[in-house]
Structures are given as C-alpha cells and as structure tokens.
Amino acid sequence: MDFFNQPDSSKPAKKKKIMMKPKKKHITNEKKFIPPKLCYWPRELTTGLSDYSIHELESLIQDSSWYDQKKTELEQSEYWKKLPKDEDKQKKRKKEMREIIFKQMKWEKEEFVILTKCKFFNIDYIVPEFPNKYETKNEKKRIFLLNYRWTSKTNNDYSDTWTDWLNYNELRRDCLNSQIKQKEEKYILDKRIERWEILSEEQQQHIIKEEKDFRIKCAQERQSQSSKRAYVNETETESTPNGMCIVRESWMTNEQWSQKRQELREAYRESLR
C-alpha cells in the first residue's frame, strides 16, 4: 500500500462542480398595443387630446409678456456703436440697428419656444452665450458690439467670431430639438394610451372598426385606380400603312370593335383605288 498517496481523512473531499446550462431568458415578441390615432375616435372622446400638439405646452409657448421688455433692453443697450453726427449716416445706422433688432427678436422668440419645451419635458437647457469679445488681426481684444450680430459682412475682424457662433448655435439647437421631438412623441402617445385605457370595450371596438374600415376603403380605391391605369395603358389601337388609325373606346364590345376594324380596312382599300 502506498502510504504517501493516501487521501487525508482530516480534510473533506472536494465536491465536483456541476456546470449547469444557463437558463434561457423568455423573450416575448409581443408588441405593445398602440391605440388608433384620434382621427378615428368620436370627437367627444378626444377632448383635450391631439396627435400633433400638446395643449398645455401650446398655452405656455403663446406667452409673450417677456417680448416688449426684451426688445426695450436691446434698443437701450450700451453695446451699440455711437451714432454718427452726420444726419444721413445716422439714418443709415438706425436702419441697420432696426434690422439687427428684428433678427435678434426673431431668434429670441424661437429660443423662448425651445426653452419652454425644455422646462416642460425636464431637458437640460444649453444656455446660448453670445460672443462678447473678438480678436483683431493684430491680436488685440475688442468688445463684440450688437452691431456685429446677424451681419452678412465678411473679411472683418469680427465676422469669423460671429460665423463660429452661428455654427455653434445651429448644432446646439439641433441637439435640443432632437431631444424635444422624442419627448413630444412619447408624451402624445402616452396621453392617448391613458385615455384609451378608460374607454369601455364597446367604445374601443368601435374605434378599431373605424380604422379598419378606413384602411379597407383606401386599399379598394388604390386597387381601383391601379386597374384604371392598367386599362389605359392597354388601350387597343389599329392603323393602316397610309396613316389612318382607330382607337378602341372603353364602351365598345368585342363585336363593335371588330366592326370598327372592318370599316378601317375597307376605308384603306377604298383609298388605294
């Protein structure tokens, strides 16, 4: 007996690990039921709902109490160039200022809508800081005046700074609007589902039938139009070597068409005499 290779009775024998196959997760391919759009619902059941807008949000967007104050701040801002003494130059400068204020206020209105929607959907709003400084070709820092906004001028010291800001603003808005669109679509759908769940089964079945009937009607109309186009494309004609031609009308029977063709042949023979 080999005493050196005997199992140690003082230590418990190690249990062999049994490898179990991982349990397969039960994956359901069932899609969540989405109620038909509101255009198929009876009007009295859609009060306060819309497939395209959010009533609560629209009322917030329509608020314009901030507009006049913002416009006044722009008009009275100290960050405008001093008006020239010359009367004609002064008129020209004031016209330019009015155009800048108009464009700025247009931007402000659009921005107010974005800000309001971000607050409504709890989206982190990115503050659009306008440039306040620019660098000259001599590498000197200058104040970025309001006169330099919304300019179409190029090759100026400030034009590159403004172009960079415009590009940044476009990317910033695209990012926010993308998030807003997703939130809007989800909100509208969730509200429709909420209303659907409190309807009676009879009301739900009526709406489902309305949608089904509409789709069937549309399919029949498309098929009918397709058949008409196919018939037009297959219109029968017959012609003779001297250029005479007849076309089969839609109302002609086979006998009438055969008679018409016979008359054409006789007319052609007559023309050769």
Instruction: Determine the Cα–Cα distance for residues 228 and 193; give it in Å rounded to an integer.
Output: 41
Beta bridge partners of 237: 247
For residue 94, list its beta bridge partners.
none
Helices assigned H by DSSP within 140-237? 159-197, 201-233
CB 244 within 8 A of CB 267: yes
Cα 188 from chain centre: 14
Task: Dump pLDDT digits (tens) for 208-266.
Answer: 999 898 888 888 888 877 666 555 445 677 777 666 777 788 778 888 878 888 787 77
Contacts of 81 (CB under 8 A, 6+ apart): 93, 145, 147
Residue among 105, 130, 125 nearest 115 (CA): 125
- Residue 164, both tokens: 């960079």
Residue 6 pLDDT class (50, 70, 90 cuts)? very low
pLDDT digits 0-9 by tens, 170-179: 999 999 999 9
Phi, psi of 186 (to 5 degrees): -65, -40
